[in-house]
Structure 1
Amino acid sequence: MTAAASALTTVRSGRRSLRPLLYDYLLPVLLVAMVALFAVLEPQFVESSNLVNVARQSVFLLLITLGQMIVLIHAQLDLSVGATVAATSVLVATVTREVVPGASVAVGLLVGLGFGVAVGLVNGALVAFWRVPSFMATLGTTSILTGLALIVSNGAPVTGIPLKFSDVLGTGQVLGIPVPVVLGVVVMIIVAVLLGRARLGRDMYAVGGNPEAARAAGINVRRTVMIGFVLCSVLAAFAGVLLTARVGSGEASLGGSYVMLSIAAAVLGGTSLFGGEGKVWRVVVGVLFLGVLSNGMNLLHVSSYVQQLVIGTVLICAVGLERLRESL
């Protein structure tokens, strides 16, 4: 072997060893370092009540990001998740205040998840069958859902939600753990099993990695893409139901920030923007990173304007890190 060939082999070997370092270990290390920093700067950060609050607040973003990850695995993008949260919130609040309080939880969940299925079917049909770029399809859906939420609510919060609905899904606890956190963990496990063990999950990765090869292998690409969008919208709608229970009213303004945050958390967690790659545990770390960052800045009384700047910087860095991983 010539000296040049030996040097090239060494470089390639180094790049291969750097990829798992960036992919698996960098973000967890940064998360631990950030937790330590906030603990030093503000001792209140590590109090149990605050840690529970971080977990509770992170659940909503986790649900939406898991859905966004599923779509990104298909090399697609869903910009309607925030509007889905808002429309679900208004719809669920409007319906539950008209039913018997004892049935409000079941009715709210059925209405919310059913609405999520409907939105996902529309998005999936536009992308999979009409071949509309997912960016444009979901951007159009966002406008429709936002308008729907504003029309139904008349631009004002929808109040009068039964206390039972909020007590169970908003502030309820199971063995001292908030109900939203319990439900978030259950959903996380289900998604992990779906993507890691089920045939549907393998089909999703195959479609995202190379749709033509997946089609040649006998995978129904259109159906798989549609299922991905349905799952994404259902998870966003579920987050909308839990957020409605948490705030105690239907809000047309809920969910506005979740589009950017869900993409940032997914990409931070190693989900590829080009499809075919993404793991649930890495997405959980990405969500916790943003949740801890936001909570720590709030405790330190950082201006909301500065927080927006920081989150935007994190998103850019996440995309840059993704491009670096792809080049290795």
Structure 2
Amino acid sequence: MAQDRNAGTATPEGGVTLFLKRAFVKLGILPFLLVAAVVIFALMSDNFLTARNLTNVLRQSVYLMIVSIGQMLALLTGGFDLSVGTVLALSSVAGAMAMAAIYAAMPEAVWLAIVLGCLVGVMAGTLIGVVNGVGVAFFNVSPFMMSLGMASVGFGIALFLTGGVPVYGMPIAFGDTFGFGTALGVPVPVLVAAVLIAVLYVILYRTPFGRHFYAVGGNIKAASLSGINTQGTLFFTYVLCAFFAAVAGMLLTARLDTGEANIGASMPLESIAACVIAGVSLRGGVGRLENVVLGALFIGLVQNGMNLARIESYLQTVVLGALLILAVIADQFRLKYVATLKD
């Protein structure tokens, strides 16, 4: 009877532990970190959970969100892109210079200058991805070395074009619309991010091409034997990653109202952290788009909470690095739990 009573009292505890373990295996560490962050920062600041602050968090997280969904593609295929920060800088500089030059030549053609400037900026940034894709897909260069080298090249070009001086002279309508404008009560950058996320969601989960990213990251040899164009998939992976970063660069340029060669320095770390925290495997082949969006939002939430708590920016970098390490360790435990539950 005593043994039965002990077993009965142990059952609920075991059930809760099993439930948490299964939740961890299925959802990853992100939900637990989100709950912890909300509780901690809500206790540290009364303004944290206000509607105005949460809207501000969403607006500030948009740029990282767009870069992170591109970084996710690189991670899915078993690589990563360290040049996304440079893509932001180069697209910002090239787009701002082109926009300012066209606007100065034709002051009455405001929207023509905006459209052409944005096209130049996005194309300049995407060109970095084209070079990355050629190196990784066709010359078998390590994604680490390829993207690291292009990060240096692109940053040098951005500094050469500007001399380290911010680019001014863009139309006021550019910043008013794409930096601070709203449509239907929603900030324009948030709408742009929503459209990009929706399009990528359809590509990833409703088309054969989307499944190729997972197949290449899961087992590139098996993917090749099954008829998948692995070189083409890898090439477009880095082109798309750079494209998303370039769009984020132009939106950030509108927000700052200047073209900057020094923006985006923290984007490689933050975008990889957002993906890993969201459960995207560094081994490739595993990850969900909606989780990455939440991962980027979580990092924005943490940064906002630390700002409200008046934590120094240097320590914020430490926290972000620690979160990345924690997420990688959690991924290791998650794999062990998967094996345990299967047994």
Q: What TM-score comes out, normalization by structure 2 length?
A: 0.88
Shift of residue 175, structure 1, vs aligned partner: 1.5
The reply on whether 1:157 has 2:166 as its aligned counterpart is: yes
Task: Please name the residue that 2:141 is paired with.
Answer: 132
Q: Secondary structure at the match of 1:254?
A: coil
What runs of 5+ residues in structure 2 fail to find an aligned partner? 1-16, 103-108, 339-343
Task: Please name the residue that 1:311 is paired with.
Answer: 320
> 1:16-48 CA deviation, whole Å, 9 max, x = no partner?
993652441642243133223322321111222
Which one of the candidate residues 37, 48, 54 is aligned to 2:57? 54
Task: Flag the 1:25–1:121 CA change in 2: closer, same or farther, 3 A.
Answer: closer
Task: Flag the 1:17–1:220 CA change in 2: closer, same or farther, 3 A.
Answer: farther
Which one of the candidate residues 267, 271, 274 is aligned to 1:265? 274
The reply on whether 1:76 has 2:79 as its aligned counterpart is: yes
CA distance in 2, matches of 1:20, 1:226: 35
Which one of the candidate residues 292, 295, 298 is aligned to 1:283? 292
Native 8 Å contact 1:105 1:165 kept in 2: yes
Task: Please name the residue that 2:12 is paired with.
Answer: none
Letter of the 1:143 counterpart: S
CA distance in 1, matches of 2:335, 2:28: 16
Shift of residue 113, structure 1, vs aligned partner: 2.2
**Superposition RMSD on alpha carbons, in Å?**
1.7
> 1:40-64 CA deviation, whole Å, 9 max, x = no partner?
3211112222111100110000011
Q: Whose radius of gyration is greater, 1 or 2?
A: 2
Which residues of 2 match residues 1-328 of structure 1 at below 5 A? 18=21, 20-24=23-27, 26-99=29-102, 100-327=109-336, 328=338
Shift of residue 118, structure 1, vs aligned partner: 1.7
CA distance in 1, matches of 2:25, 2:196: 27
Letter of the 2:79 counterpart: Q
What runs of 5+ residues in structure 1 fail to find an aligned partner? 1-13
Task: Flag the 1:131–1:25 CA change in 2: closer, same or farther, 3 A.
Answer: closer
Letter of the 2:72 counterpart: M
Task: Please name the residue that 2:105 is paired with.
Answer: none
Q: Secondary structure at the match of 1:256?
A: coil
Letter of the 1:93 counterpart: A
Which deviates more, 29-38 or 160-169?
29-38
Native 8 Å contact 2:24 2:334 kept in 1: no
Q: How many residues align?
A: 315
Q: Give the 4+ runs in structure 1 shifted more than 6 A.
A: 14-17
Shift of residue 228, structure 1, vs aligned partner: 0.6
Shift of residue 115, structure 1, vs aligned partner: 2.0
